[in-house]
Structure 1
């Protein structure tokens, strides 16, 4: 695959132990591929990261899947919460005023080779696992088997499976780690005052 990388300053590296849980918690990605004509396509889709495979599905009516060349490079972008950071929140603003705005966010890039699965059994298995993952925390979880089989079959036909064999993972957590404890506390307080939950947007 061609050289490409996510810009990650040393103080913005996501803890390796946090990467897979982050992807599993977000559970969605922007899948980016390039067709034979060199034109890029991108689709937002639900995903599961299973072993070295990232799997998901697209609408059959979405021309993206038809333009995917099996075995070609793909990029899946998983993004978490993000926020504008006002320099007025920094404690250091009162000290010397040498502060500027920034943006805090977390993101994971998964690169690999992509394949399409236009197979009813494969798609049914994926949809079942996706459903189980999202219904599991509920007090009364719904299951694919709760619906009539013919109705499920009908609703599986309009979707197509896709799979990325993950070859590289790059993760970034830009959460004001390079600021002082006082500045991070100021950002957390500013976000809270704006009605935003600071967890996941500011480093502890």
Structure 2
């Protein structure tokens, strides 16, 4: 990924939060059939591995777990937010008319080595953790014990676990950082007013940082 210095997000903690809050990643692999991309919810364990470890599961009928070998290098892309930016939102455009449209976004790329776990205990643990995390916001959270045991047992046999030890983490925050603080701030305010708090709030924070730097 091309990352100009002003777009780089160097904080590991910020990137961990981005991954945790996004959850759905794009697993990119290269197997016998060439490049493949699978959209999968991941669980991040930032206490395991060199940087952290990602865990997930896929359907047994999905060939991805057979197309890779344990130790293969893979890439997982997490796109947290994105938004179109109109030049009309930059105050300087109306003075100098030297602005063009762009697209801003927040993204993390996790490079790592994959391990296949055709293991019922791994799969159950992964499903339980994902379920607990995402059901926690429900008034009455669903849990695996709510379904008949034989039903869950049958489903667990139909999925395979994957684990990715992250070896390299790259973050990019494209937030119009090359613009004047007033331009970044106003565009961010427009997005927030429209309900796009992801990129909008990030742009407001970027504008504040740039103003502090002078």
TM-score normalised to the size of structure 1? 0.89
Q: Tell me, in whole angstroms, the C-alpha distance in 2 between the residues paired with 1:89 and 1:112.
A: 39
* Unmatched segments (≥5 aa) in structure 1: 1-5
Q: In structure 1, what is the equivalent of residue 22 of structure 2?
A: 26
Structure 1 residue 196 corresponds to structure 2 residue 188:
no
Q: In structure 2, what is the equivalent of residue 47 of structure 1?
A: 42
Structure 1 residue 150 corresponds to structure 2 residue 150:
yes
Q: In structure 2, what is the equivalent of residue 7 of structure 1?
A: 2
Q: In structure 1, what is the equivalent of residue 115 of structure 2?
A: 115
* Unmatched segments (≥5 aa) in structure 2: 206-214
Q: CA deviation at 1:104?
A: 0.6
Structure 1 residues 112 and 199: alpha-carbon distance in aligned structure 2, compared to 1, 3 A threshold = closer
The answer on whether the counterparts of 2:191 and 2:199 sit within 8 Å (CA) in structure 1 is no
The answer on whether the counterparts of 2:104 and 2:199 sit within 8 Å (CA) in structure 1 is no
Q: CA deviation at 1:71?
A: 0.7
Structure 1 residue 89 corresponds to structure 2 residue 84:
no
Aligned length: 197
SS of corresponding position for 2:199? coil
Q: CA deviation at 1:181?
A: 2.3
When the two chains are superposed, the root-mean-square deviation of aligned CA atoms in Å is: 1.7
Q: Tell me, in whole angstroms, the C-alpha distance in 2 between the residues paired with 1:175 and 1:59.
A: 37
Q: Tell me, in whole angstroms, the C-alpha distance in 2 between the residues paired with 1:132 and 1:175.
A: 33
Cα shift readout 1:96-115 (whole Å, capped 9, x = no counterpart): 11111111101111111111
Regions of 4+ moved over 6 Å:
none
Q: CA deviation at 1:189?
A: 3.8
Cα shift readout 1:74-122 (whole Å, capped 9, x = no counterpart): 0011111111111111111011111111111011111111111111111
Q: CA deviation at 1:148?
A: 1.6
Deviates more, 1:180-189 or 1:99-108: 180-189
Q: CA deviation at 1:59?
A: 1.6
